[in-house]
Amino acid sequence: MDLDINQPIDYQTCSPDQLVSLLGFKAHYINALRTLVGGAFGREFPQLVLTDTVFQALVRGLEHKNPNVRFQCVQLMDHLGDDRIIEPVRQMLHDWAPRVRKQALHALTCEQCKSVPLCPLPGPVVEDFIDLAMHDPNLNVRIAAVGALGVLPASPQVSQSLQAILTTTTEPKLRQAVQLTLSAGLKQARRS
């Protein structure tokens, strides 16, 4: 059933996939989100009801043609302390929309948004973070990737990559992000 977003919608009769599609429209976002997961704001997220059917609809939403839908699906997954999100969100690190890539970085690293932290990220995810930090065409994504690398456990691979960015870029904001990340990492290592 196709939805006419310009007409009143009975959200309770929509399928999870239809509700996910409605996440991309401001006029429908809150009602679609409440119907889909039982909440619409951060304070409501601890009570989220996420069935496997809804989770699968969110995963399918990551392939939606509307970047707003993809962004909202990643943002919702950010609040799940569920390791099932790792691989689908990892794929979004390669999305054509910079804000989706940036949100994917956040979703994979922010523990404050989750009731339970994710398991340690696998090596390919770390490699994707490094690739984004070094090569993404969008400066804001590169800075976010540097920040994501900074919350990972210290490793020679991460340190060497950050040092390589310092030696190859003249972009002041990126250099500052790398220097702050390296400085914070050194402080954290001294406390351990």
pTM for this model (two decimals): 0.89
Residues contacting 112, CB < 8 A, separation 6+: none
* DSSP state at residue 112: T
Among 139, 135, 58, which Cα is nearest to 92's?
58
**What domains can be seen in the chain, in order of their start residue?**
1-119 (1.25.40), 121-192 (1.25.10)
Query: What tens-digit pLDDT sequence spans the chain (192 residues)?
Result: 567 777 888 999 999 999 999 999 998 988 998 888 876 655 555 556 578 999 999 999 999 999 999 999 999 998 887 899 999 999 999 999 999 999 999 999 988 877 778 888 999 999 999 999 999 999 999 999 999 999 998 889 999 999 999 999 999 999 999 999 998 874 454 334
The string of pLDDT tens digits covering residues 52-104 is: 999 999 999 999 999 999 999 999 998 887 899 999 999 999 999 999 999 99
Among 117, 187, 118, 110, which Cα is nearest to 154's?
187
DSSP for 6-31 reads: TS---GGGS-HHHHHHHTT-HHHHHH
What's the pLDDT at 46?
52
